[in-house]
Structure 1
Amino acid sequence: MKLDHSLSLFSFIYLVILPLISAQACQRTCGKLPINYPFGTGPFCGDPRFQQYVSCNQDKLTLTTQTGRYPVTKIDYANQAIYISDPSMSTCACTQPSKGFGLDWDAPFSFHDDNVFTLLDCSTTASPIFRSNNFDGNNSPTVPLCDRQGTPICSFLYSCTAISMLNLPISTCCVYTPVDLGPSFELDLQKLKCSSYSGFYSFSGQEANPENGQYGITLKYKFNVFNNYPSLCANCEMSNGACGYAEVYNAFVCNCPSGLNTTTDCYFGVSWNDGKRLLPWHRGTLILSLVWFVFRMIL
């Protein structure tokens, strides 16, 4: 009888106590980047809509789209923007062929207004970006795809040593304007008959010096239709937890440093007489005390 009682207690420890003191599944950082909602570092972390697009592998945060995987260099949580780099993008220091960049049609991202895309080495005879007529074959108005005010940017970019060595005429450059088409936008260089592109999100106040440009792509994101930060998630992160979701119904889950998942936050409880909340690390102390008590019962 005593043996059965001991086995039951050990089963209780294995099935209930040990999972509570396991490592936190959802981390608050990925490498040097802080991770907050709606992003996550693993399965069932962050917002499920973002899970398939942004992931953390070997301390590197990456964005995955239909055109490839791109390192995330910075996240501006205050302005709800992420910054990515494209290894195939041409810069003032290096020019190389590229297939372009695109977003999935259902991705929870859109292009930021600060983006400036410059198409390089485009065919002046075959590329659809060079349209001389105001109407197409169906007598429908055409939309100019090159910004006529972008000539200085092309001039500065084509003056870079890496690009100037290709001896490309300035007419093969185009500052691409239709970047406001939302998530369905795709910079398909093969279709546009261009060999490469550059993307800027800032010139650091030195538009005349392309070497100092901030190369990359900035994407905007929203929390939901109304763009409201979930209050449950805010409370969870304030208690040192990481926001996540359950496998069933995608219900909200707060993942705590102790490894415990809750539906509220990582505080153990609140006394009704305005006492202090139990700090998150107290939870581990309480669990260890419970384990010690169980072992004392066995002995």
Structure 2
Amino acid sequence: MSSSKTKAAEADAKISLPGCPDSCGGVPIPYPFGIGPGCYMEGFDLSCNTTNNGIHAPYQDKMKILNISLSLGQARVAMPVSSQCYDNTTKKDQYNIWSFTLSSPPFMFNHEKNKFVVIGCDTLAYVNFSTISQNSSYMGGCVSKCSNLESLTNGSCSGIGCCQTAIPKGVNYISVDFDDGYDNSEVFLFNRCSYALLMEDDDFMFNTRYITTEELNGQSMPTVIDWAIGNTTCDNAQANKSSFACRSKNSVCFDSSSGHGYLCNCSSGYQGNPYLEGGCQGTFAGIVVLSFLVIGTYVMLERKKLSKVKERYFQQHGGWILLEKIKTNQGFGFTIFTRQQIEQATKNFDSANIIGYGGQGTVYKGCLRDQIVAIKKCKMVNESKKKEFGKEMLILSQINHKNIVKLQGCCLEVEVPILVYEFVPNGTLFHYIHNKKQGSSISLSTRLRIAQESAEALAYLHFSASPPIFHGDVKSANILLDQNYTTKVSDFGASILAPTDEAQFVTLVQGTRGYLDPEYLQSCQLTNKSDVYSFGVVLLELLTRKPVIDYDAPEEERSLSSRFLFAMKQKKLEELLDDEIKHEDDMEVIMKVSELAKECLNMKGEERPTMKEVAEELDQIRKIRQHPWGQEYYSKEREFFLGEASHDIVIEHTSYFSINKEAEESIAVGR
């Protein structure tokens, strides 16, 4: 390329007027902004000053410019942080507060991208606003409180250690003040200084070190300001060609979204500076470059948006609490996985990897860190439990019992948390019991072992976990079998920690039809006895291999529990039992298990045994069968049925399945 062509190309690429500086300290200075006489449009003059650390930077008056956007009509500037620091020697507060007026032509603080932020443990700060028309003024502010460092959460600015509020539209004057009724005298040992600042919302993330250190003292934060040409509309401005700012013939004019002044942009297919003669150039290369810039900007914005969304979800689900626990406890066997890791492990939730699904979520088989795991993608999470989710994960992750599926980790970067469990290869007890196509036979010994192991697991949750945990959805589909057919109780999607007061009782009925405690259905109060009732239904499945709800049967016979209790009353239980276990030698054992199931199915929760008592009884029953000579002789004349008591229970169950038919049909029917 010839020298003349090179100079022409450079001239075309200029963003400032000929002979004027086009940058300062690495910051581009596009016209109408400019440095030096004759280099700027009226009101857009800048100076290139030396900062305290010896670096050059552009300033407008005392305001440091970080960058300028022609297309958006915006600039990012550095705004000082106001502070209130308590001096324990003088017992007085020391203040460093600021006010700022943006000059005209129209310069305004952007009301969408900025927030007024207050940081401190005993702080009330105000911000006064005036609009560009000077016809109105406003006052805002917020209070930030905290009693100790343990109450603070990284990333959270909701009033504990940090608060924030929006600003009105069209503001060009802001001043900050602190309420001297609030100071740091009570908290100065860990929080001597409080701060107030106006800053770009996307660039701010609260950190607890802002409380414990004084790193914000004397600092500045990025703030977005809007700018526009004049104080008129495009229609009015174009009437005076000599003063019209859109100088390039390939430019368009549009009114500023702030409602004050107008802006210029290059026409479609052109790029450059619309405020300069010949400033908008349209070449094929330019279009390609512009396209890449647009695509790149879009991708960056989307990534930033996604990052903010993931951060918000992480914070909502108590991720910071969980993360701090993991960091401080090296032996804590729990992992917080990223969304990307989960998507890779499930091949982006490929349906080919589904190993289970139902009303509350879908379970995928995946590989994380060279280990096969079960990944549960839940459908919903109780809004009232979102903030407690991290704390509950801490408790559930520490459950360590051979008959309970181990919770290994979770992903909190999504709207509904994803749970990662150990993988249990032999499917569910429901499939094992009811899949008769393969001609599978299940011995009474195996059934009793599965029942006892399941009962031991639930007893552990009720009595050994701290705090106690109620499963909330005990059923054969939530009992898994490993490679040795050892029982593993799973799926705590409906679980709750034992409530400490009445206000914590759940108010939304959840569970599975046929297993659901009738007392819970009426009161909405989930207790440990709710799990006992559901376990009683599982015992019936083991004894009969029949479905818990038979939709083809008459209404009064659809429920397995009602059919079971009616059969006991009529002394026809043998007709309901699975043919595989109808051995005369085992009828005494089956009688004991049946009596235990009936006690679990009592309509009154307080009259049901505890899961610990159920587990102990099943242990004794197994010992009776294994070593009958070592146990007390059971009289053959002992009544198998409990007479009128059984009659009463049958009537109560029949009434329950009739009265609550509509309510029961509204709950989940399985997973």
Larger Rg, first or second structure (1 or 2): 2
Same-fold call, TM cutoff 0.5: no
* TM-score when normalising by structure 1: 0.44
* TM-score when normalising by structure 2: 0.22
Larger RCO, structure (CA 8 Å, separation 6 or more): 1
